[in-house]
Amino acid sequence: MSGDRAVIGRLLDELATGWATGDLSKVGPAFDDRSRLISAQHGTASGTDAILAALGADTRDRGFIHRATNRYIGIDGNRAATSFYLFGLMHDGRDKAFLFGTTIIALLERVESRWRIDDIRIQAMWSKGDPQMASHWLHFPGDRGWQLGAPPPVIVSELHAPWHVLPDLPAPDDLQEALHELYARYAFAVDQNDIGLLVSAYAKDVEGGFAPLGNLSGRDEVVGMLKNFRHLAPFWQHFGEVVAVQDEGDGQHARLIIGRIVPDRPVDESGRTIYAAHYQLRAVRKGGNWHICWSDYRPGWFTQDTVPAFDIGRPTS
């Protein structure tokens, strides 16, 4: 299983890099005539050549700067369901720029000795800047969320999220991977407004500080308040990555710090990764999966060299 996860992880990395650079040669063999692309921006394409042509249109003039985060890989026998986030910056080298954030879901099948991408769904969640940089796109989501007249989304979490396609899979054995995927599940749930999936990310006795909502206790309070708060937001997309992990040694609890990435400023003046805020999280393992049992969200910039210390149990909201 760990070998399959590594292979699929490399494939997703090659997909993201190939899309951004225009060199799709490494990921091309993962498609065949039965593969499908379903994209709100590129339309529908079937077969290797059509899919690569659709994605390659984004780099017809030049590649774009990108970063991929929030990866999840679920494997059940010969089937895999995956997701990740990607934000990209198209720039003409002068004064035109176009920034966008996407959610990507890929379903794979093991065919003989390789993994084939059967379906890939791409949905741009938001964009800002000059849309002429991607004039071939079919739809440009703005910063106001869904608007009357917008086309139907190609990603509906309750139907397409990997946790629903292959439900009830156990967490990876590797603690770092398991906790990263716990955050990916939480973020996907709140960003897609999938409250059922959000419930699965929390322990029943979760508590902590949930800025700007205040200190909350119990899953009823936490999910209820986040549900109401989410309805006020035109869109959310929580790019983040694990920057610290601490195993508590009892086999059931672990601590983690998630760095929140803001696409407008992902690096500092020196090119170092920079984070706009962080989550202090404690997780508990129950029934083969990890759940958040304590949380505190803390705004404040830091770099990969100045990660905050663990500070569990002291809510700050």
Give the start-to-end residue ranges of the domains of the chain: 2-164, 192-303
Backbone angles phi, psi at 192, to 5 degrees: -95, 0
Write out pLDDT tens, residues 219-258. Answer: 999 999 999 999 888 889 999 999 999 999 999 999 999 9
Start-to-end CA distance of the chain, whole Å, equals: 40
316, amino acid identity:
T
Fold match between domain 2-164 and domain 192-303: yes
Please state the rounded mean pLDDT for residues 192-220: 97
Cis peptide bond upstream of 315, omega within 30: no
Q: How far apart are CA 141 and CA 253, in angstroms?
A: 40
CATH second-level architecture of 2-164?
Answer: Roll (3.10)
Q: Are 310 and 255 in contact (CB under 8 A)?
A: yes
Cα radius of gyration (the chain): 19
pLDDT of residue 12: 98
Please state the rounded mean pLDDT for residues 4-26: 97
pLDDT of residue 1: 62
Q: 140 pLDDT band (50/70/90 cuts)?
A: very high
Between 84 and 234, whose confidence is greater?
A: 84
**Domain topology for 192-303:** Nuclear Transport Factor 2; Chain: A, (3.10.450)
Above pLDDT 70, what percent of the chain? 100
* Sequence-separated (6 or more) residues with CB below 8 Å from residue 105: 81, 82, 83, 119, 120, 121, 155, 160, 161, 162
